[in-house]
A and B are shown apart, each in its own frame.
Chain A
């Protein structure tokens, strides 16, 4: 494909800025929602100098423990 234009024409003057479309901030909230749904709750703001994130796995661990206890109850019903 050949573009015929003024000699000083730059590509970014007529093609939209693509970096906005692939910016990580678009998908980032969805990732946090996915993690939260799976029981990893995001905790922010443990440092004033830079952004830090800690994922609290308490809900996830509780879910696994509940699953183990339910499984044990099921086996208790059988044997």
Chain B
């Protein structure tokens, strides 16, 4: 069956809108690509849901923590350390105290779920305590598994393979945790991927984009000016119709008279 020109026009328009829509929504397999998608989602949350709830989880998860021991002096020292000494004077944009660190823990847990806590030890009030603690960007960690699959030979690097994360050095310690994965997993599954949130967020983005594509494409057609609109008569926008009609009638009468005169002339 052949299409008429109008049908062909709409066929072309719809094809243009849906061009490329055959792509399936696929959550990437590798950790780094997943993290790129998650960063995009948090940077500009097109779902309007995910970032709000994750912020709520981070906010409610950031609870104050107290140290209580049998020794009052030790309790006081640890309290002072956790509130005033930890991460003191690192930089003007780094808050001090354990509570700020807990916020970072929660953020990293719900983003990459790859927690790498770095600790620098120092002498504080006569005790060896962490003077600096921070979580590395989980998305930047590279894992080098052991060929034999041994857990104690697995290596971790930050950024590139020249920058190995050492478990302990003279005054530093690093601790890595993957809260949602087995010990033998090299890279963790980010929380949002594991719970299907990233997939649904990508699906929602695709749907919203498609809707906006259609609307953008259709708006010019909705606004087009129609010639010969029937509503013009109702709105009295076509001028004096009675006068125009009389004019047409007169013209027809005149034409008829001319025709009759012609016929009479031919008959004579």
Query: Which residues does A use to contact B, with CB under 8 Å?
Result: 1-9, 11, 14-16, 18, 21-22, 26-27, 30-31, 33-35, 37-40, 60, 63-64, 66-68, 70-72, 74-75, 77-79
Interface residues of B in 115-166 (CB under 8 A from A): 115, 117, 119, 129-130, 133
The stretch from B28-36, B217-225, B248-256 touching chain A is B217-225
Q: Is B227 an interface residue (CB 8 A)?
A: yes
Interface residues of B in 210-250 (CB under 8 A from A): 211, 214-215, 218, 220-230
Enumerate 16 A-B pairs (CB-CB under 8 Å) in ascending A order: A5-B228, A6-B228, A7-B228, A11-B221, A15-B221, A26-B211, A27-B207, A30-B204, A34-B197, A34-B204, A35-B53, A38-B53, A38-B197, A67-B57, A78-B175, A79-B129
Within 8 Å by CB of A79, from B78, B117, B218, B230, lies B78
Which B residues lie within 8 Å of A77 (CB)? 175
If A31-B49, A71-B106 touch, whether A14 touches B227 (CB-CB below 8 Å) is no
**Separation in Å of the A35 CB from the closest CB of chain B?**
7
User: Is B201 a contact partner of A34 (Cβ separation < 8 A)?
Assistant: yes
User: Is A2 a contact partner of B207 (Cβ separation < 8 A)?
Assistant: no
User: Is B227 a contact partner of A18 (Cβ separation < 8 A)?
Assistant: no
Within 8 Å by CB of B50, from A16, A34, A63, lies A34
Within 8 Å by CB of B226, from A3, A15, A33, lies A3
Q: Is B42 an interface residue (CB 8 A)?
A: no
Kindly state the separation between the CA atoms of A79 and B226 in the bound complex, as whole angstroms. 78
User: Is B208 a contact partner of A27 (Cβ separation < 8 A)?
Assistant: yes
User: Is B207 a contact partner of A37 (Cβ separation < 8 A)?
Assistant: no
Query: Which residues does B use to contact A, with CB under 8 Å?
Result: 6, 10, 47, 49-50, 53-54, 57, 60-61, 63, 65, 67, 78, 98, 102, 105-106, 109-110, 115, 117, 119, 129-130, 133, 173, 175, 177, 179, 192, 195-197, 200-201, 203-204, 207-208, 211, 214-215, 218, 220-230
If A22-B211, A27-B207 touch, whether A38 touches B230 (CB-CB below 8 Å) is no
**Separation in Å of the B120 CB from the closest CB of chain A?**
12
User: Is A30 a contact partner of B61 (Cβ separation < 8 A)?
Assistant: no
User: Is A67 a contact partner of B196 (Cβ separation < 8 A)?
Assistant: no
Kindly state the separation between the CA atoms of A1 and B223 in the bound complex, as whole angstroms. 8
Which B residues lie within 8 Å of A5 (CB)? 226-228
Nearest chain A residue, comparing its CB with the CB of B231:
A7
Which B residues lie within 8 Å of A8 (CB)? 230
**Separation in Å of the A77 CB from the closest CB of chain B?**
6
Kindly state the separation between the CA atoms of A67 and B225 in the bound complex, as whole angstroms. 60
Kindly state the separation between the CA atoms of A32 and B129 in the bound complex, as whole angstroms. 46
Kindly state the separation between the CA atoms of A15 and B221 in the bound complex, as whole angstroms. 8
Kindly state the separation between the CA atoms of A77 and B174 in the bound complex, as whole angstroms. 11
Nearest chain B residue, comparing its CB with the CB of A38:
B53
Which A residues lie within 8 Å of B225 (CB)? 1-3
Nearest chain A residue, comparing its CB with the CB of B197:
A37
Which A residues lie within 8 Å of B117 (CB)? 74, 78
User: Is A18 a contact partner of B218 (Cβ separation < 8 A)?
Assistant: yes
If A11-B222, A40-B53 touch, whether A67 touches B230 (CB-CB below 8 Å) is no
Kindly state the separation between the CA atoms of A77 and B218 in the bound complex, as whole angstroms. 61
